[in-house]
Structure 1
Amino acid sequence: IFNDISSTVIKGAQQLKHVVEETSIIGGFTKEHEKFLTEKRTQQRREEAAVAPWIGYNEEDDMKNQILALSKEKRNFLRNPPPGANYHFDMAALYPVALATLDVDENLKQMRFDLVPK
């Protein structure tokens, strides 16, 4: 009898906890906080795993040379994509790759300081 009563009390307490978490302001805050932490961990993993854009491809050296050559010409940073180009820039996805490339490309570092307002 005692086991039945204690299991009923425990089950009731768990249900009450669940209802409070689902319907209260604290429950909403907790959910948002957990969502924020998950997104933050995902972003941190992406940043830690970022490598320069030529890493892991066939003909890596040729790709590296071609990509590094892009940063030597200022107009590559100032002109719009060609008409009809279907290009979408996702800052969150490309930011870690840009940081990894900045570590390698001295011309890109200089271009950044030339073009970004002080």
Structure 2
Amino acid sequence: MTSYDDLSREAPASCRPTTPGALLHGRLARLRCPGHALACALCLEGGVHSVELGSLYLGAEDEHGAPARSAPYELPRLALRRTCTHGHLDHVGRALARVAERADRVPGYRVVEQRPVLRHFTVRLEPVPD
């Protein structure tokens, strides 16, 4: 039986599963919301909408902005509908490839304002230049 990892290695580069950790390889600290950074880059690059599942959603900061709890992963979530065609998925793959090419220029984000409950819906962020 072929494993998921084997399939991933055999797939074309634009089809391989990836995470912000792979694209932004240690460049952005979890404090800088790498999952959200990738979601923003995908939206700006190709109009691809996604949702961050990571430190912004699952993490927490103290009153001074220091991380009090981080997420176990940093992932963008894409919602695919049954109406998506191969062309749609090709577009997502090309946008992701373009983001990967300029991963060193993708900015992190910092929390400017947050509420204690459901912060991921109401948080205000700003990009942090390198």
Q: Does the TM-score normalized on the shorter chain lie above 0.5? A: no
TM range (shorter): under 0.3
> Structure 1-normalised TM-score?
0.23
More strand per residue: 2
More helix per residue: 1
**Larger CA Rg, structure 1 vs 2:** 1
